[in-house]
Amino acid sequence: MDTDSDTRDEYALITGASSGIGWATALRLAPERKLILHGRDLDRLAATKDACAQSDAHLIWPCDFCAIEDVADSLTKLLAEKAAAVNCFVHSAGMVKVLPMRSTDCWIAQEMMNVNVISATEVLRVLLSKRTNGQHLRGVVFISSIWARFGARGHGMYCATKGALDALMRALAAELAPEVRVNSVLPGAVQTSMAAEGFSDPEIVENLRRDYPLGTGDVADIAEAVEFLLSERAKWVTGHEMVVDGGRTASMSLKGRAMPE
């Protein structure tokens, strides 16, 4: 599409906006941007939309990333129907299954790759299509994890998916510059439905208090980093892994305790 005649409204697309870090990112970005809120659960997506500033301006995109072959078509259709273009993409949707490798069959491994990584490449394929999204895309942030950098028992596929996201981020930062900046945020443990089991175990909570020099953080701390990376304040930052973990990785113990981070 000729960008001069492209008068579509611009949106920031947030995957996983129905919950946790995606939800907090939506609330943080909403005062300044129109949003496309992605998730599976329509009630929770509606609740996110209602909780956001300028609630009526935002769109909802329900899509299950397990059905990976439908993702690109579904997003293309939404952008066409709503005459919308996307200038920022935050990939927060993700899943974790804690399993020893002997129980991780190819279907589980593929499901985790689809939801955590391939969904992002399918979304980007649409957002980088000149026909579908013009040349609107400017900023991308992947929500990775500190477990992209460290091992943890039972987290083989989760660590692999987050490591893949960071490697993809660096390659895209090189490929898409100077028009598009691409970065990752690597959170430590924050309380969300994904981490609920860990946070309900008093022993793990005690470990968290000991292992995080700055104490426990929350989803708003992660959203703050995302907002910075998308903003003009970060106009010379691309290809960067921003660790937001209260100092956890700076003081990593060797005892191998695992949280679903």
Residues 6+ positions from 62 with CB-CB distance below 8 Å: 38, 39, 40, 42, 45
Q: With contact defined as beta carbons under 8 Å apart, do 85 and 67 qualify?
A: no
When asked if residue 195 is in the footprint of ligand NAP (CB under 6 A), the reply is yes
Compute the distance between CA of residue 76 and CA of residue 219 in angstroms, rounded to an integer. 30
Q: Of residues 1, 6, 40, 150, which one binds ligand NAP by CB under 6 A? A: 40
Compute the distance between CA of residue 193 and CA of residue 67 in angstroms, rounded to an integer. 22
**Binding pattern to ligand NAP, positions 144-173, x when CB under 6 A?**
-x----------------------------
When asked if residue 71 is in the footprint of ligand NAP (CB under 6 A), the reply is no
Cβ at position 82, least distance to ligand NAP in Å: 19
When asked if residue 184 is in the footprint of ligand NAP (CB under 6 A), the reply is no
Q: Of residues 49, 123, 138, 187, which one binds ligand NAP by CB under 6 A? A: 187
**Binding pattern to ligand NAP, positions 197-236, x when CB under 6 A?**
----------------------------------------
Compute the distance between CA of residue 132 and CA of residue 72 in angstroms, rounded to an integer. 11
When asked if residue 16 is in the footprint of ligand NAP (CB under 6 A), the reply is yes
Q: Which amino acid is at 102?
A: R
Of 94 and 134, nearer to ligand NAP (C-beta) is: 94
Cβ at position 198, least distance to ligand NAP in Å: 8
59-62 β-sheet, strand order: 59-62, 34-39, 9-15, 84-91, 139-143, 181-187, 241-244
Cβ at position 162, least distance to ligand NAP in Å: 7
Compute the distance between CA of residue 96 and CA of residue 117 in angstroms, rounded to an integer. 12
Compute the distance between CA of residue 48 and CA of residue 115 in angstroms, rounded to an integer. 21
Q: With contact defined as beta carbons under 8 Å apart, do 13 and 33 qualify?
A: no
Binders of ligand NAP among residues 81 to 120 (CB under 6 A) are 92-95, 115
Q: Which residues bind ligand NAP (CB under 6 A)?
A: 16, 18-22, 39-41, 44, 64-66, 92-95, 115, 143, 145, 187, 189-190, 192-195, 261
